[in-house]
Amino acid sequence: MIIVLRPHVTEDELSQVVEHVRQLGLTPHVSRGVTRTIVGCIGDEDRLREVPMLAFPAVETVLPIEKPYKLAAREFAAGNTLVALGTGGGAVGDGAVHVIAGPCSVEGEDMLRRTAEAVKAAGASALRGGAFKPRTSPYSFHGLGPEALDILAEVRAATGLPVVTEVLDTRHVALVAAKADCLQVGARNMQNFALLTEVGDAGKPVLLKRGLSATLEDLLLAAEYILARGNPHVILCERGIRTFERAVRNTLDIGAVPYLKQETHLPVLVDPSHAVGRRDLVPALALAAVAAGADGLLIEVHPDPDHARSDGDQSLRLEDFGELMDRIRAVAGAVGRQVAEAPVPHALAP
Amino acid sequence: MIIVLRPHVTEDELSQVVEHVRQLGLTPHVSRGVTRTIVGCIGDEDRLREVPMLAFPAVETVLPIEKPYKLAAREFAAGNTLVALGTGGGAVGDGAVHVIAGPCSVEGEDMLRRTAEAVKAAGASALRGGAFKPRTSPYSFHGLGPEALDILAEVRAATGLPVVTEVLDTRHVALVAAKADCLQVGARNMQNFALLTEVGDAGKPVLLKRGLSATLEDLLLAAEYILARGNPHVILCERGIRTFERAVRNTLDIGAVPYLKQETHLPVLVDPSHAVGRRDLVPALALAAVAAGADGLLIEVHPDPDHARSDGDQSLRLEDFGELMDRIRAVAGAVGRQVAEAPVPHALAP
Amino acid sequence: MIIVLRPHVTEDELSQVVEHVRQLGLTPHVSRGVTRTIVGCIGDEDRLREVPMLAFPAVETVLPIEKPYKLAAREFAAGNTLVALGTGGGAVGDGAVHVIAGPCSVEGEDMLRRTAEAVKAAGASALRGGAFKPRTSPYSFHGLGPEALDILAEVRAATGLPVVTEVLDTRHVALVAAKADCLQVGARNMQNFALLTEVGDAGKPVLLKRGLSATLEDLLLAAEYILARGNPHVILCERGIRTFERAVRNTLDIGAVPYLKQETHLPVLVDPSHAVGRRDLVPALALAAVAAGADGLLIEVHPDPDHARSDGDQSLRLEDFGELMDRIRAVAGAVGRQVAEAPVPHALAP
Amino acid sequence: MIIVLRPHVTEDELSQVVEHVRQLGLTPHVSRGVTRTIVGCIGDEDRLREVPMLAFPAVETVLPIEKPYKLAAREFAAGNTLVALGTGGGAVGDGAVHVIAGPCSVEGEDMLRRTAEAVKAAGASALRGGAFKPRTSPYSFHGLGPEALDILAEVRAATGLPVVTEVLDTRHVALVAAKADCLQVGARNMQNFALLTEVGDAGKPVLLKRGLSATLEDLLLAAEYILARGNPHVILCERGIRTFERAVRNTLDIGAVPYLKQETHLPVLVDPSHAVGRRDLVPALALAAVAAGADGLLIEVHPDPDHARSDGDQSLRLEDFGELMDRIRAVAGAVGRQVAEAPVPHALAP
C-alpha cells in the first residue's frame, strides 16, 4: 500500500504517519518526490486495508497495491478451474463453449420438458429454469417455488440434463441444493453476503451473476466469499450492467470477458438475454460473447414466449434457439473451439 | 399503457395486437399518427405489465402510464407518513429534522455508550450502530453479531435513545426486531426480496437504504414490498449512487430528496457519511440535505475514528458532530424547521 | 406525443391542456384510464417537442412517440447507406468487414509509411492517423498539425490507402477535407454542433464517434446534423462509454451494434482500441464486434508502441495486427462475411 | 508515479523497467512487497505520464501520484481566485453568494429587459441569456445569434447588469467577447479544446460548465487549458451529470461543491435548472447548493415559461425567482454568508 501525503507536509506529520504504519506491524519506506512525499508500506497489506489512514490530515490518498481477492486471483491457481455439472461430457472452463438454456421460470412440467428436449437436441449442456424469482415489483409472478424444484428434478431425470436454478433466501439453500446441480446467485443478491456464505457451504457448484452496478473487483470479492468457505466450484456470469444508456435494458460489458479470463482462473459465462432484454438482439450478443472468449452462455428459451409468465420479451423460441446454436458452432470453430457435450447429472450417472 | 407500433404496420399486424389486448381484459383504443400508430390500453395496467408485447414484431415499444408502485405513491395516502421510533418526541416525517447518529459498527459497550451520550447531548434523536456488517471482502470485520445487539439494548436502556441497526439475513430478523426500534435494510440488500418480505412481517419500523444502482422507482418498489406486508412504517434513505465519478466514494443524489417528497408520502433521510466516504466533506452534504428538504440524516460518529474497525475515514469525531449539529440547527431554522427531540423507546416508556 | 396528466386532475385543468395542444395545430385525443387521464396528440410531433408542457401543473409527464431523428432512421432509407472512401474495393456498409488501422498520431513520415504498408499487406482497407489530437491535458502532445496532413497525403499517394483523420476546429475543416478521404469527428466533439454543421458542408465522408456519455439517440441526432446539411456519407463508430467500471478504460457497448443496425441505415464501426485502452484485450473485442455484426473496425497500430507519443498502451504492434487480421477473417467467414478490399483514394484513381 | 509489477516478475523484466525509467530521466526506487514488486519514480512525473509503461508485459498497473493539473490546483495559488464580472459589487469567489439569472435563450428585447429588471430587483448580480444555443437536435431553435448579442448589450447598458452568454464556435469568440462580460463554455463543449484555447486568449472571464460525463479531474484539466493561456478568470459550474437515474434529467453532483472548494482555488457555481430540468425542483437544489458552500448559482428565469422557445419546463417565473431569492438569503445567512451585490459592467463603469 502506498500512502500519498499532501504537499507541504511537515516533518512531524510525516513522523506520525510513519509511526502509525510501524505500529501496525508493517515497514514504512519514505520516498520524497518533487511535490509529494509518499510512504510505501511493506508487509501484509490486509492489515492496512481496514485502517482509516485518511483520518490523518497529512494523508491525501491511499493507493492499494495488492488485489483484495486472493483465492479468486489467477496467480493463486495453477490453471483454469473446471466446474463440472455432472459426469461425462465436459466441465465449464475446459475450453469448449457450454450453453445453459431454458425458460426464465418453470411454469409447468410440460413446458419445461418440451424446452429441455429441444435445447438438448440443439446442443445445450444444461437446463436453466427459475423456481424462486426475484422481481422488482411485489405484484409480479415470483415463481412456483418448491413445486418448480420437483418439476426440475423430474425433467432432469427424464432428459439427463443437469439443472441450474436460482436460490434467493438462506433458508432455501439446502432445499435447492438437494435438487439442482448448480445453484445460481442472481445479480440482485451478488452482495447478499449471508447467501454467499450459505451457498459456499452447500457443496454444489455456484453460478454467480454480476450485480447491476458491481465492479469486476466486487464480483471477484463476491466469488471470494464462496471460495473462502472451501467451495472452489464457482462460475462467474456477466449479464449486463446499469449505465446511462437505456436503448436496451442493460449494457453488456463484453470487455469483462477477456479481462476476467486474465484476472481469474474461474470460468466466465455471458447471459445475453438479461443484458439486452429483447429477443431479436440476443443472437448478436451471444456470438460476440463466444468470439470474445466466454466459457459459455446462459440463454432464455421458451416454447411460447408470447404467453410466458416472465421475461417473454427476451426469450428465444425453440426453433430460434436451434438456429442460434448452429451459428454459435460456426463462430466457436472460427476461434478454435467447439460446443461442449452435455454431462450426465451426478445422481443419475450409473 | 401505450403500445407504439412500428411504421408501416399492416392491418393484420394491428388486429393481432388489438385482439391480444382485448383477450387480456383491457380495452384497446387505436390512434393513427403521422408516422406511427399507437394502441392505448384502458383497464388494469398491472395485467399488461407482465405481458411480453415486444414479442409481436409489429410492436416498437411499450410506454407504461401508471406507476408500478401503489401503496408507496403519494396519491395513495392522505398526508405524510410519520414513523415514530418511540413515544414522546417526534416521528420521522413530522417536518422536524431527525438525526440518527452513531458508529458504523458496535465495537464494545464503552465506545457505544460514550458515543450515544455525546450524540444525544448534541441533539441526535436516535442511535445507529451495526451488529451485522455487510462487507465487500470476506476478510473484513463483519461486526460483533448477537453480542452487539445486547450492547445496543444496554445503551438504549441507559441513554433512552431509540436504536437503529441493520439486518442482513432472513434468519436474523426476529432476533434483531426483538432488540432494536428500527430495522435497517442496507443498500446491498435493497433488492433482497426475501429480506424485504421478512422485515415487512416483523412489525417494526424499517429504514430502507437505496441500492447503489437502484433507480428511485426501484427504491419505491422495494418499499412497496414492505408496505404490501401490512407494515406502513418505512423510512427511505438516499446514501449515494454509483456513477463514473470516483473523486469521492459515491455521488449523493441530492435531487432524490425533493423528487421523493413529491412522489411518495414516506419520509426521506440522507446518509452523507456513506455517500462521500470522507469525514471532511460530510458536513457540507449534511447541510445540503437539510436545505433540500430531507426529513433527517443518518451520520456516522465515532469516539476515535483513527482506530475504528470500519468506516473510520468517514466517521465524525464526537466534537465535530456537536459542531455540525449547531450548523444543522441554523440551516433548519433558515428553511422554517427545527431539529427533532428524541423520543423514548417503546419498551422503556413508562 | 402522449401527455399523461396527474391523478385527480380537474375538468378545467384538462381543458387548458387540450386547448393548448389545439392552439399548436395538433389534434388532441383524450382518453381516461383507471387512475390517469392521457391526451394523445395527433399531428406534427416536432411542433410539440419544444413546447414546455410540464409548465402545466396538471401534466405529470410527456411521452414522445416519434423518434426525434428523421434522416438517420432506417425507415427513411430504402436500404443500407454505403460510404465509399475511394473507388474500386468496397464501401463501408456493403456487408464486408472494413478495417481502418494506423497510429494514434502521425509522428513522422517513416513511421506512418511503415505502418501503412504493414496494415495494407495485412488487409486493412484504410489508414487512420491523427494530425490534430484532442488531449485531456493541455500539457500532452497535440499532434503535428498541418505537417501531419502533408505526411498523410504522401503516404496515401505512396500506398494507395484512403486516409481518415480527425478534425477538431471549424477553422480546420477545409484544410483537412482537402487532404483526407474521410473526416473523423471525435468522441469529445460529438455534440460540437458547429463542427458537425461544418463537416456536413465539407462534402467528404464523416466518421462520427460516439461521445463517452452519449445515448444512441444522441449519436443519431448528431448524425442528423450532418445528414441535414445534405451530406449522406456518415459512418457511426462505437468506441466505449463511460460507466462506473474502471477495470478497463471504457465499457464497449457491444449491444449498440445490433441495435444501431436495426435503427439506422448508416454503417457502424467499432473501435476496440479506445474502448479498452489495453493492447492485450483489443483482439477479443475486435472479434466480438465482427461477430456482433459491425461493418468494420478502427484499430490503433504502431511500429514501436513502447515509444509512441500517444496511446502506446493500446496500440498493436505491426505483427500483432497481422495475426489479428487472420483471426478476423476466420470469424467474418463464420458469420457469412469477408474482409473488404481496399479502395483507391478518389484523387489517385486513374 | 508508482509502477506495480505483476507477481513472479523475473530479475530481467525488472531491470528492463528500471532501465526504461532511468532513460526517461527519472530515478527509480525498487521496493519488494510480499507478493508484488513496485518501482517508485522520483522526478518530473509529467515526463512519465505519456509513456506507455503497460507496454512492458511485467507491468500490472501504473499509479500516478501527482495531480495532472497544476495551475488549477489549490496549492498553486495563495488564496481563492476572485472573478469580477464588473467593478464595484463583489467578485465571484469572495465568499458571498452570486446569483446569475436569466432566460435560456434571448428571444427578444422586451422579454430580456423585463427579466433583467426583475432578477436585478430580486438580487441577481448578473444576467444570463443565450445567443447561440447548442441543441441535441438540428431541428430545434438555435438562438437568435448575433442579434441576441446586440439585445444583451442593450439590456446590459439599460440595467447595468453584467452579462454571461455562451460561445459555441472558435470563430465567434471575438464577437461574443466584444459584447459580454463573461464567456460561457457549455457542458457539451467542455472538452472542445480548440474552443478552450480560444476563450483562454480572449481576455474575458470564462464560466466553464462541467460535461455530462466529465470527472472532476477532467473539469479541472479543462480549466487548466484556459489558465495555461494566461487567463486566470475561470469560474467552474456543476450542472448535473449523466447517470443511470432518469427520474429527473441529470444527477446534481452536490458533493462536487465541497470537493472542488478543497481541490482548487477557482470559484464554483451550481446550475440547478439544467441539473433537474423541472421548475418545481429547482428551489430545493438551489438551497442545497448554497448550504453546501457554492460560490453562487446559475438559474433560468423566464417571464412566460409556458411559451419559452427553449427550456420552458425548467425556467422559473419572475415571481418564483423573487421568492426563491428570499429563501436563498435565509440559507446564506444560516451558513454565515450573504447574497452578493451586482457589480457594474466594466465598459459602463464611470
User: Which residue in B51, B192, B313 is closest to A54 by CB distance?
Assistant: B313
> Which residues from chain C sit within 8 angstroms of residue D310, using beta carbons?
50
- Residue B350: pLDDT over 70: no
| Contact across the interface for B50 and A309, Cβ inside 8 Å | yes
**What one-letter code names the amino acid at D92?**
V
CA–chain centroid gap for C11, Å, is 48
Question: Regarding beta strands D126-128 and D98-102, do their DSSP bridges make them parallel or antiparallel, or are they unpaired?
Answer: parallel
pLDDT one-digit tens code per residue, B93-137: 999 999 999 999 999 999 999 999 999 999 999 999 999 999 888
Closest-CA residue of chain A to C333: A334
pLDDT one-digit tens code per residue, C107-123: 999 999 999 999 999 99
Chains touching chain A through at least 3 C-beta pairs below 8 angstroms are B, C, D
pLDDT at A216: 98
- Residue B140: pLDDT over 90: no
Higher pLDDT, D35 or C77: C77
| Contact across the interface for B66 and C40, Cβ inside 8 Å | no
Higher pLDDT, D191 or C50: D191
At D350, is the pLDDT very low, low, confident or very high (cuts 50, 70, 90)? low
Residue A245: which residues within 8 A CB-CB, separation 6 or more?
A251, C215, C216, C241, C253, C256
B126 forms beta bridges with B100
pLDDT one-digit tens code per residue, D117-150: 999 999 999 999 999 999 888 888 899 999 999 9
- Residue D29: pLDDT over 60: yes
pLDDT at D349: 56
- The mean predicted confidence, pLDDT, of chain D is 92
| Contact across the interface for A66 and D33, Cβ inside 8 Å | yes
At C194, is the pLDDT very low, low, confident or very high (cuts 50, 70, 90)? very high
- Residue C350: pLDDT over 70: no
Transcribe C187-238 into DSSP letters.
GGGTT-HHHHHHHHHTTS-EEEEPPTT--HHHHHHHHHHHHTTT---EEEEE
| Contact across the interface for D31 and A43, Cβ inside 8 Å | no
Q: In angstroms, rounded to a whole number, what is the distance separating the alpha carbons of residues C130 and C143?
A: 7
CA–chain centroid gap for B39, Å, is 36
Instruction: Show the beta-strand stretches assigned E in chain A.
Output: 2-5, 27-32, 37-42, 59-63, 98-102, 126-128, 163-166, 182-185, 206-209, 234-238, 268-270, 296-300
C-alpha cell at B194: 426475501
- List, in sequence order, the alpha helices (H) in A247-317: 256-263, 272-276, 282-292
Closest-CA residue of chain B to D331: B334
| Contact across the interface for D251 and B257, Cβ inside 8 Å | no
Higher pLDDT, D291 or B4: D291
Q: In angstroms, rounded to a whole number, what is the distance separating the alpha carbons of residues C208 and C345?
A: 20
Mean pLDDT of C234-261: 97
3-state per-residue secondary structure call for chain B: CEEEECCCCCHHHHHHHHHHHHHCCCEEEEEECCCCEEEEEECCCHHHHCCCHHHCCCEEEEECCCCCCCCCEHHHCCCCCCECCCECCCCECCCCEEEEEECCECCCHHHHHHHHHHHHHHCCCEEECECCCCCCCCCCCCCCCHHHHHHHHHHHHHHCCCEEEECCCHHHHHHHHHHCCEEEECHHHCCCHHHHHHHHHCCCCEEEECCCCCCHHHHHHHHHHHHCCCCCCEEEEECCECCCCCCCCCECECCHHHHHHHHECCCEEECHHHHHCCHHHHHHHHHHHHHHCCCEEEEEECCCHHHCCCCHHHCECHHHHHHHHHHHHHHHHHCCCCECCCCECHHHCC
pLDDT at D337: 98
| Contact across the interface for B42 and C34, Cβ inside 8 Å | yes
Mean pLDDT of B35-64: 78
- Residue D216: pLDDT over 70: yes
Cα dist. B139→A193, B135, B295 in Å? Answer: 12, 8, 36
pLDDT one-digit tens code per residue, D43-85: 777 667 677 777 777 888 888 878 889 999 998 888 999 999 9
Nearest chain A Cα distance for residue C255, angstroms? 7
pLDDT at A35: 73
Chains touching chain D through at least 3 C-beta pairs below 8 angstroms are A, B, C
pLDDT at A121: 97
Nearest chain A Cα distance for residue C271, angstroms? 12
- The mean predicted confidence, pLDDT, of chain C is 92
- Residue C349: pLDDT over 70: no
| Contact across the interface for A311 and B52, Cβ inside 8 Å | yes
| Contact across the interface for B66 and C33, Cβ inside 8 Å | yes
C-alpha cell at D136: 441535441
> Which residues from chain B sit within 8 angstroms of residue D68, using beta carbons?
none
Indicate the SS3 state at residue C51. Answer: coil
| Contact across the interface for D251 and B247, Cβ inside 8 Å | no
Q: In angstroms, rounded to a whole number, what is the distance separating the alpha carbons of residues D153 and D179?
A: 6
Instruction: Indicate the range of B152-166, C15-29, D223-237 predicted with least confidence.
Output: C15-29
Cα dist. C57→B75, C6, C13, D278, D311 in Å? Answer: 15, 8, 8, 11, 16
Mean pLDDT of D108-115: 97
Residues found in chain B: 350
Residues in chain D whose Cβ is within 8 Å of chain A: 2, 4, 7-8, 29, 31-36, 38, 40, 42-45, 63, 65-66, 75, 213, 242-244, 246
Say what percent of chain C tops pLDDT 90: 72
Contact C106, C310 (CB under 8 A): no
Which residues of chain A have a pLDDT value below 50? none
Closest-CA residue of chain A to B191: A188
pLDDT at C192: 96
Indicate the SS3 state at residue A68. Answer: coil
pTM of the model: 0.94
- Residue B262: pLDDT over 70: yes
Say what percent of chain B tops pLDDT 90: 73
pLDDT at B235: 98
Q: Is the dihedral of CA B247, B248, B249, B250 positive or negative?
A: negative
pLDDT one-digit tens code per residue, B77-97: 889 999 999 999 899 999 999
C-alpha cell at C122: 495485412
CA angle C285, A271, C314 (to 5 degrees): 15
pLDDT at C78: 82
- Residue B349: pLDDT over 70: no
**What one-letter code names the amino acid at A190?**
M
pLDDT at C44: 72
Torsional class of B234: left (φ above 0), alpha (ψ -120 to 50), beta (otherwise): beta
| Contact across the interface for C138 and D313, Cβ inside 8 Å | no
pLDDT at D166: 97
Q: In angstroms, rounded to a whole number, what is the distance separating the alpha carbons of residues D146 and D176?
A: 8
> Which residues from chain A sit within 8 angstroms of residue B137, using beta carbons?
49, 68-69, 221, 224
